[in-house]
Amino acid sequence: MATVRPRPLDGITVVTLEHAIAAPFATRQLADLGARVIKVERPDGGDFARGYDKRVRGKLASHFAWCNRSKESVAVDLKTPQGLEVLHALVERADVLVQNLAPGAALRLGLDPDKLRAANPRLILCDISGFGPGGPYSIRKAYDLLIQAEAGLLSITGTSDTMAKVGISIADIATGMYAFTSILASLHLRDRTGQGGHIEVSMLEALGEWMGYPLYYTFDGAEPPPRTGASHATIYPYGPFPTGDGGTVLFGLQNEREWAAFVAKVLEQPDLVTDPRFASNGDRSANRDALCSIIVSTFASMSREEVMRRLEQADIANASVNEMTSVWTHPQLKVRQRWQDVGSEVGPIPALLPPTGSDAFDPRMDPVPALGEHTDAILEELGLSASGKTRLYA
């Protein structure tokens, strides 16, 4: 029987009151590293991400499958004294408490950071919110698309005719990543000081940090980067281009050496290297319509495979524009054995291994829990499962 190697967060218990993506994404990564993550959910539906869709075998929501493997689900009614008793018993034993409830909801449940840390100085609390405490926006609802708008991402994403949201929950993901890394840092600091801490992460500030480039690009009232669809706003050529067989290739140039190689080996028009319209990246970007016409007309007589072969020979970075079906079967992920089955209430489903592989330990890849799947076991563990009493909790 194979021995499970120790993981970095073995022995760490995380209690989480979480919904949607930001907090679940953070805590799933803690679970990947070995932490025990106990997800406290409402009995009447649980995490509302469970109801986003039924895309995984007609029952399991896609967002939920992604963000909730390797957790334990406890279904209790926090509007009852019995439910609150369970919650506070869990928190008393926890190393980390994570919550992304509506503003003020955690305090109404008695989860006052000062009181909790007075009772358990080693406790690390992580509050995730849309806008952070204080300020005129602190009590506003915050969903991913709303934060994309508030942080300015929508203003630079899309085409010249219309803005477009990012196709994934990027504000939630940014927030979850900062919560995850902040919790890891706090655990490391606790090892040295013996003291926990109180972390606050807001979606606006997390995505605002990721907006550093366009913010500085518009420094002192300068013009913002234009919306250019799938092409780069300020580097050119850098984006998708059609080929003669109806295909699409995406490639990008980063410097003058690559520009010279591109015109000589891909376009086979070496004289363009001295064309003053394209003398620098700034010139190429300013004259992108003219350069695009040259590229498209050249590619019109070539297949996608031929263009990509020339790009490879010229050492120009390029990529296939894959749809989801192609990502599931991506040859690089397959050869590197990055998919692993995990259990769920709909049976085994494939999941990507965490991208930060280590030769020191194996990540936890345990099942996605059904709602309340672990309630009875955890009530038993807490000594709260007297006969006939468990029904009061769920």
Give the model confidence (pLDDT) of 199-224 as tens digits. Answer: 999 999 999 999 999 999 999 989 88
pLDDT given at position 326 = 93
Q: Verify that 141 and 69 share a domain, yes or no.
A: yes
Asked if 313 and 342 sit in the same domain, the reply is: no
Indicate the average pLDDT of the chain: 93
Do 297 and 352 lie in one domain? The reply is no
Q: Does residue 162 sit in the same domain as residue 255?
A: no
Looking at residue 362, what DSSP letter applies?
P
Confidence grade of residue 229 (pLDDT, cut at 50, 70, 90): confident
Q: What are 41's strand-pairing partners?
A: 75
Model pLDDT for residues 84-107, shown as the tens digit of each residue: 999 999 999 999 999 999 988 999
* Residue 44: per-residue pLDDT: 93
- Domain residues for the domain of 28 are 13-211+336-392
Question: Which residue blocks in 159-287 are alpha helix, DSSP H?
Answer: 170-193, 203-210, 212-217, 256-261, 281-286
Q: Do 89 and 116 meet the contact criterion of CB atoms below 8 Å apart?
A: no
Residues with Cβ within 8 Å of residue 41, at least 6 apart in sequence: 47, 73, 74, 75, 76, 371, 372
Please determine, for residue 360, whether its predicted confidence score (pLDDT) is greater than 70.
yes
The two structure tokens encoding residue 388: 């006939």
The domain that contains 104 carries what CATH number?
3.40.50.10540
Q: What is the pLDDT of residue 38?
A: 98
| Domain limit, last residue, from 321, 350, 382 | 321
The answer as to whether 273 is a domain residue is: yes
- Tokens 């926990």 -> residue: 196
| Residue 7 domain-assigned (yes or no) | no
| Within-domain flag for 225 | no
- CB of 1 within 8 A of CB of 25? no
Q: Are 367 and 69 in contact (CB under 8 A)?
A: yes
Residues 193 and 243 in one domain: no
Same domain, yes or no: 282 and 147:
no
Q: Strand 238-242 vs strand 197-202: parallel, antiparallel, or unpaired?
A: unpaired
Same domain, 180 and 47: yes
Are residues 165 and 273 both part of a single domain? Answer: no
Residue at which a domain ends, from 262, 291, 321:
321
Give the burial class of 293: count Cβ atoms within 10 A of its Cβ; 0-12 exposed, 13-18 middle, 19 or more buried.
exposed
pLDDT tier for residue 4 given thresholds of 50, 70 and 90: confident
Produce one character per residue of 172-203: b if its CB has 16 or more CB atoms within 10 Å, e if not: bbbbbbbbbebbeebbeebeeeeebbebebbb
* pLDDT tens-digit series, residues 109-134: 999 999 999 999 999 999 999 999 99
- Contact call for residues 188 and 197 (beta carbons, < 8 A): no
**Cα–Cα distance list, 200 to 100, 125, 139, 352 (Å):** 10, 8, 15, 29
Which of 321, 351, 372 is the C-terminal boundary of a domain? 321
Domain-embedded: residue 276: yes
Residues 30 and 98 in one domain: yes
Q: At 47, list the tokens.
A: 């995490």
pLDDT, tens only, 55-89: 999 999 999 999 999 999 999 999 999 999 999 99
pLDDT at 91: 95
In a domain, 190, yes or no: yes
Q: What is the sign of the dihedral through the CA atoms of 304, 306, 309 and 311? A: negative
- Kindly state whether residue 362 falls inside one of the protein's structural domains: yes
For residue 121, is the peptide bond before it cis, meaning its omega torsion is within 30 degrees of 0?
Answer: no
Residue 218 lies in a domain: no
CA atoms of 73 and 345, how far apart (whole Å): 12
Burial of 361 (0-12, 13-18, 19+ CB in 10 A): middle
Please count the structural domains in the chain.
2
Does residue 392 surpass a pLDDT of 60? no
Looking at the structure, tell me whether residues 347 and 307 fall in a common domain. Answer: no
Dihedral (Cα; 335, 70, 23, 114), 10-degree rounding? -140
**CATH classification of the domain holding 306:** 3.30.1540.10
CA distance 202 to 126: 11
Q: Domain check: are 52 and 187 in the same one?
A: yes
Q: 145 pLDDT band (50/70/90 cuts)?
A: very high
Residue range 264-284: mean pLDDT, rounded: 96
Same domain, residue pair 255 and 191: no
| Residue 137, pLDDT score | 92
